Every structure is written in structure tokens, then in C-alpha cells.
Chain A
């Protein structure tokens, strides 16, 4: 396999092109060529033992730290990744790539179809978490890295980390799995479905062909984001942040303006999301999460893996107020690993910030990630 690398100055990203590779997807569809946009931080050591892959969540991207040219803001996990940060780039070589099906430079519905000057749109094949991980593994291989020290991710990123442990245990040493689950629950699928319906019932969506008239189904996509955003918070956090406080007014309007701060906040979240995310990508990626299900198969996959996986270390973290991926879901993973006597650590962090806690200020999460990485890295280099 020969991979071509370029730098996209506008996206401030490296792009890896995998041409004529005929990537067979889980659905059976084949993508003959694809590209992944990625960023790296820190330096790969001479033995190539310090590579860490960070997997982003549903609406994340490769800009884990530093400047994000799409939003003009700091990367989504810049509080976690950087020099002397918990995932210390003085010590580790951190890689983050935009997932297959994403919209920040990797092949996805927004990108042009191979040998064609129209975008994929709704013609993009269905991708799964397994497909994303397969694509990532090709990227890692083309970077000449035989073994990743760690694969780290929260939410959809945690799904990818778990998939790495299942599919490529021989290529990794440990995973840090934050706010994830063995499966996407019925309730989670339900919320995603409402979001997708919002997008698809926007008349501008036009079966995914909105790009033909240079339009964006803004209303649908922003409603989808508003719904999803509620699921990332918790009742307590919302109450603490907004209560029933009114927005720029002293009395209620007896109308349907954004009277309450919480309404105004959600509208802002929806509006700013539209500027940075592709509606079709949102449909595809939510679907990929919905299809994620290792409930019945995880234990068997780990126990009877044809790739040796006994050496793997797992750090599983959940949050008390996360009702989207509640602690019980994480504990199922821990139970199954413990029943197989695997090296697993588990912590439930006490916080009221909900599912989004992994992106926010949580000192205990910082400590545990930093300590787990540092000490386990020291152990392999002893």
C-alpha cells in the first residue's frame, strides 16, 4: 500500500490519500479510494513507542488541540492535550484524524465522489464505527507505527477505542474509554432519530442534495443539535447554569421569543453548529453510533480473539450525571473484562455536568488520565 500525504493549508491539516485501496465496509459496500484529514502533536520517539491515538466524538474533528480554522477557536480537547497537559505532547506523539464519513476534510458525504465532480450527499455508503477504525488503522500503518501506546476517546470516541481493542488488539497496548457503552441504547437511538427527522423534514434537505443549490438545511440541523445538546447536559447542570432566568428582559413576553436563557442558549448552540457541520454527515455519523452493538458479542470477541489481547489494559471512566451513557453501561464492560481476568481499571467520577463532562473541567479525569498514561508508559520502558 502506498499512501500519498499532502498538507491542506486552508484546513491546517495533513491529508492522507488511500487510492485504489477498495476498502470493504461493514455494509458490504466498497470505497475504492478515500482520504483522511488528521493532525499530529508532539514527536514520535525513535523506537516509535509513544504514539497515542485520540478518537473524536460525534461532532468533533481532528483539531483536538491548537487552532481550529473551521471554528476559529481552540481545539475541542485543548485542555487535555498539549505540552504538560494530562495527555502530554512533550512525552507522547498524539494523532487525531477526522472519522470516515466526517466533514472536516476526510472522505464523507460532503466530499466529491471519486472521479466525479459532484459530492456524495445521500449516495455516500453507510459507515460504521468498525469502518472508521479500519480506516484509522490504515492511517497508523501508513505512518509506519506498528503499535499505538494508547487509544483514547469519549462517547463516539469511546466506541472507536473499544472497537480498536476488539479488531486490532495486537496494534495497541491500552485504551482509555470515557462515557461509552457496549451498545447504543434504545433511548439514544430515539434521540438520534428525532434529530435526523428534524434534518430530513427540512424542505431544503432535498434527499441530501441541498449542496446542489449551495444551500444548507439550517433549521433542521440546528434543531437536531438543540435536541442532542440537551442530552449532553444534566438537569442539575442546566438548573445551575440557567434556572428560570430570563434573557435580556425583565418580564415574560407572553410570546414565543426566547424568553428564557436556556432557550437562547440552545438557539445559539444550534445556530453555531450549522456553520461548522454538514447535515448529511450528521445523519451518517448518528447512524454509525446507532449501529454500534457489542452487547452480546464483546465477551466472546475478547475471549476468543484470534489476535492476542491478553496484554491489553483498559481504563473505563463514567460520570454520575451522564444519563446518555450511564455508569451501568460502563460497568457492563468492566464486569465482562473482570470475568475474563483482564487488566481493567474503572472509575465513576462524581459530577453534575452530564455526558459532556469529559470535555469540561474535571480535575479527577485529568489526574486519572495523566497518571494512567505516565505510569503505564514508565512500566513498559522499565
Chain B
């Protein structure tokens, strides 16, 4: 099978975070572009949710498993740990309850991949500082009264929330507005200033399995310390 090239820069980065042969849920999957890429290039089994009727119809017509629905209402139907990765690309800022969504992602999936536009980028700060009006940029191109983005946050805010929720950032990739890519965790100063768009690979704190040897059996359990 021919590998396909990604249409969006963030998709190719998301692909690098995903291992082969995994089961993936793409929230806000559109017409299935990322799903197609991951099926072809990573041999993934993909599922998607899409709110927009026409996009969902399009994705289904292309043969993908897509449920036309609203992530804020419909995620509860999925069982715990039923996916290896749950992807939420560029939509966390449009959710009514981003914190609840974040915990849902990590309930359904072993790992979550979240990408969002950074409200701490210098252009946005400058616009607000100088003009005194809500910023309008390429990544956040809406005026305040008709934007789908209702929760603005910066990389710092996001990292604080992860910390509060005991979520581990396994990997973090930043993109500048010129498309230059860097590792957020390694660059200390100015990250929040220069990152235009951020992509995070998240999981809950993973404890090494503790093996308890009894005379007959070996017990293994995650995150449990036995007496």
C-alpha cells in the first residue's frame, strides 16, 4: 500500500506520535482525512466522531467508521480504555467543558493526543496590548461575537491543568507561525511566546507493573502497591 502525504502539518506530526497497528478514535474527524492517513501509513484501526452532518456523511461515504454526533454528549458511550489513542485536534478551545473532555479522552484511550492554537503567542499578545481589541489571527480567524472558540488558553494554562489532573505530558511539539517545529519540553524560555500551535501526547501517570510473587502465582497490577 502506498503511504500518503499529509495535507496538514499537524497531521504529519500526530502521525509521528502513533505506533503501528493501533486503535484510534479521532474526535472531530471531518471527512476522515487524518483517519485515512493513519490507516494507510500506520495500519491503524480508526473510528471517528464528527458534529457536522455533511462532513460525517462524506467520511462514511469514503468507507470510514464515523458517528455523526457531538463529542460533548456522545463520548460517554465508549468503554474505558477501548482505544490506544484518542485524538482531539484543534477543538479543545471550542468545547463547553474542556476539563471534562480531557478526562474523557484519557478514560476512553490509553493515550490522548491534543492539539490547539496557543493564545500566548506573541502576535496575539501584541494585538491585544496595542489595539485593545480581541485578537484575530490566522489560527484564530474569528471575531469575538461569532467564534466557535469559547475557551482561550495558553500553553502555560494547559500544562497547569495537566498537572492538576495528574496527566503526564509524554511528548510535546510546538510549531511557530513559520511552521518551524521544536520540542516544547526542551526549550525553556519563550516557548509560550513563540509557539503558534501545540501538540501534546498525554497519558495518566503510568506506574511500572509491580510483580508480586507468591509460591504459586505471579500477580501483576498497575498502580497498586500491595502490602
Contact = CB atoms under 8 A, between A and B. Distances in A.
Contacts of B187: none
A211 interface: no
Interface in B84-131: none
B31 to A, nearest CB: 11
A359 interface: no
B211 interface: no
Interface in A272-324: 313, 315
A340 B78 CA distance: 8
Given A367-B57, A371-B60, A375-B61, A345 B78 contact: no
Interface in B49-103: 53-54, 56-57, 60-69, 77-79, 82-83
Given A341-B79, A347-B53, A375 B67 contact: no
B164 to A, nearest CB: 29
Interface residues on A, range: 20 to 34
Contacts of A33: none
A347 B47 contact: no
B56 A379 contact: no
Given A335-B77, A347-B57, A372 B63 contact: yes
B77 A347 contact: no
A341 B23 CA distance: 10
B63 A375 contact: yes
Interface in B15-72: 23, 47, 53-54, 56-57, 60-69
A71 to B, nearest CB: 32
Interface in A322-380: 331, 334-335, 338-341, 343-350, 364, 367-368, 370-372, 374-376, 378-379
B68 A339 contact: no
Contacts of A341: 23, 78-79, 82-83
Given A345-B66, A346-B67, A346-B69, A370 B77 contact: no
Interface in B161-218: none
B43 to A, nearest CB: 12
Given A339-B79, A340-B79, A347 B63 contact: no
Given A350-B53, A364-B57, A368-B57, A345 B64 contact: yes
Contacts, number: 65
Contact of B65 (A313, A367, A374): A313
A334 B61 contact: no
Contacts of A345: 60, 64-67
Nearest to A346: B67
A375 to B, nearest CB: 3
A371 B65 contact: no
A372 B60 contact: yes
Given A335-B77, A339-B78, A341-B82, A372 B61 contact: yes
A52 B222 CA distance: 47
A313 B60 CA distance: 12
Contacts of A347: 53, 56-57, 60, 68
Residue from B62, B65, B78 with most neighbouring chain A CB atoms (10 Å): B65
A368 B60 contact: yes
Contacts of A379: 63
Nearest to A378: B63
A343 B47 contact: yes
A346 B49 CA distance: 9
Nearest to A377: B63
A371 B61 contact: yes
Nearest to B45: A343
A37 B3 CA distance: 48
A315 to B, nearest CB: 7
A340 B77 CA distance: 9
B78 A375 contact: no
B7 to A, nearest CB: 19
Given A346-B69, A348-B68, A338 B78 contact: yes
A371 B63 contact: yes
B68 A346 contact: yes
A75 B131 CA distance: 67
Interface in A140-163: none
A340 B64 CA distance: 18
B63 A343 contact: no
Nearest to B59: A345
Given A334-B77, A372-B63, 11 more contacts: A338-B78, A339-B78, A341-B83, A343-B47, A343-B65, A345-B64, A345-B65, A345-B66, A346-B66, A347-B56, A374-B63
15 contacts: A313-B65, A331-B69, A334-B77, A339-B77, A343-B47, A344-B67, A345-B64, A345-B66, A347-B57, A348-B53, A349-B57, A364-B53, A367-B57, A375-B61, A375-B62
Interface of B: 23, 47, 53-54, 56-57, 60-69, 77-79, 82-83
Interface of A: 313, 315, 331, 334-335, 338-341, 343-350, 364, 367-368, 370-372, 374-376, 378-379
7 interchain residue pairs of minimum CB distance: A371-B61, A375-B63, A335-B77, A346-B67, A341-B82, A345-B60, A338-B77
